Structure 1
Amino acid sequence: MAVVSGCASSPSSSSRYALSQDRAPSGDFDASGLADAVPRYEPRRAAGNKSPYTVWGKQYWVLDSAAGYVQQGTASWYGEKFHGHRTSNGEVFDMYAMSAAHKSLPIPCYARVTNLENGRSVIVRVNDRGPFYGDRLIDLSYAAAIKLGYQGQGTARVEVAAITVTPDGALTVAGESMPEVGSVAGGGTGPGADGAMALFLQLGSFSHQAPAQLMAEQAEAVVASAVRVREVETAAGRFHRVQVGPFQNDGEAQRTRRELEARGFEESILLTDTR
């Protein structure tokens, strides 16, 4: 396993850690049943949000808001060296939880991280600062790295899309409003003519086409239903939505959802969309 330079909430004081270098925990850890972080409204805190701040002689600024943030870059992970120590906002780092460190996103916030090499996505809660090594964009917990499939090589090319939640519960990903789950009037009707509303399962929504196309190809390999990548222009920009369907009724959609979940597509949402 590659040794990864993980982030620390206090990089200049490495003597506080029992280990000089980061590493994975001994033994096997099964992350297949580990649920993503669940986005919820959390007010911005003073802890961890000092701006600007300086690490190793370089100055960084914290964003006023995470709304609309989406960026591609390199993800690393951090594990046993920092496990049990305090994060930048005073919480205790748990390498088995779905969390992350970022240099500029406000703390706490949530983000969808997609491995651009295999199309896998996770949702993490940002509660730490870093990584401060090279040009790395985000540091994920060891568990999150396993779910994205790059813990062995140490780093991966990813897309980070911020998830924001308002006090009334409205949720957006990179500025795009999330469709209402199960928003099918009357339990769903059959698809109509072109332009009519129909029932779909949405597996993901990406600001770039490549990861959307990869996810669509992976879905096509495991289900008999049609899979499409639909480009949508929104106020926040262009998004590529990976959708399965249309379905004749809610029962058919739910059977396909269970089939997809059994094959690793655990983040599908049921929605109406134009055919």
Structure 2
Amino acid sequence: MSGWAGCLFGLIILVMGLYGCAQKSVYYPSRNTKIYAPPSQKGTQRPYTVYGKTYRPLKVAHGFVQEGVASWYGPKFHGRRTASGEIYNMYELTAAHKILPMHTKVKVTNLENGRSLIVRINDRGPFVKNRIIDLSYAAAKRLGLVGPGTARVRVESLGSWSPEIPGIFYVQVGSFAIYDNAIALQTKMRQKGFVHTRIQKFEHRGRTFWRVHAGIFKTLAKAQKIKTRLELKFPNAFIIAD
């Protein structure tokens, strides 16, 4: 092989080697890296099933209010891909929710200490019983629930408005430590025409409560109309999305 041919051959081998290394490289985001996928809803609004239960994400969610237990997730998932396609960064103010549209901004208030902040939904979950939202480490730290691990919160959507959001909605009209009191209210609500009123068991910090949900309503607009009516007798009533 001539000298120039040998140089050319060596150059080809070098380029191939560099290409191979590039193909095998793995990128891990640093603490301060922000990686956002385009704010697309493609593929994130289809119904999906986890642990045998099917969830139907909302298309829009202005007016959505929910109360329940929040948890958080951190190092184990840092750097992994979320349901929205983004890379999860535990130091950003994001959260996972089972049915809210991706990229919806929500105000989360810790009802145990009064702290609140705004986070963006970019993942699905939590799929643990009696939990309604999974916060990033940064969000959980600001709300004061990293230590205890969970806290009772209110989630309020700041997204776009559509009165005919379809789904399965209830209006919570009571929460009782005594089961018989919940039964009494359920019976009363059914007599008033809310034939699908249900009772759900709720456990928080070692205590058991029985929640009474009047329903069922097929659109958010209908649920809000009934909520306004029920607030005259149940001032703490709020909407539950199933």
Picking from 141, 144, 147, the partner of 2:139 is 144
**Structure 1 vs Structure 2: percent identity of aligned residues?**
54
| Contiguous gaps of at least 5 residues in structure 1 | 1-28, 30-41, 167-233, 241-275
- For residues 34-183 of structure 1, what are the structure 2 equivalents within 5 Å? 45-50=41-46, 52-165=47-160
Which 4+ residue blocks in structure 1 deviate beyond 4 angstroms? Answer: 234-240
Equivalent-residue separation in structure 1 for 2:88 and 2:53 (angstroms): 24
User: 2-side partners of 1:49 and 1:86: how far apart?
Assistant: 17
Give the deviation of 1:64 after TM superposition: 2.5
Per-residue deviation, residues 2-29 of structure 1 (Å, max 9, x unmatched): xxxxxxxxxxxxxxxxxxxxxxxxxxx9
Contact in 2 for aligned 1:114/1:121 (Cα 8 Å): yes
Give 5+ residue unaligned stretches, structure 2. 1-30, 32-37, 162-223, 237-242
Q: Distance in 2 between matches of 1:108 and 1:43?
A: 7
CA distance in structure 2 between the partners assigned to 1:165 and 1:44 by the alignment: 15
In the TM superposition, residue 49 of structure 1 has moved relative to its aligned partner by: 2.1
Instruction: For residue 164 of structure 1, give the secondary structure of its aligned residue in structure 2.
Output: coil
Higher helix residue share: 2
Indicate if the aligned counterparts of 1:47 and 1:90 stay in contact, CA closer than 8 A: no
Give, in whole Å, the separation in 2 of the partners of 1:44 and 1:104.
16
For the aligned residue pairs, the C-alpha RMSD in angstroms reads 2.8
Conserved 8 A contact 2:60-2:160: no
Query: Whose radius of gyration is greater, 1 or 2?
Result: 2
Partners of 1:136 and 1:94 in 2: how far apart? 21
Separation in structure 2 between the aligned mates of residue 44 and residue 74 of structure 1, nearest angstrom: 28
Contact 1:44 1:106 in 2 (8 A): no
TM-score normalised according to structure 1 size: 0.44
Supply the distance in 2 between the matched residues of 1:57 and 1:145 (Cα, whole angstroms): 29
Question: 1:67, CA displacement in angstroms?
Answer: 1.3
Deviations 1:37-65 (A, max 9, x none): xxxxx965113222x21012111111122
The C-alpha deviation readout for 1:215-254, integer Å capped at 9, x for no partner, is xxxxxxxxxxxxxxxxxxx9996899xxxxxxxxxxxxxx
Count of paired positions:
133
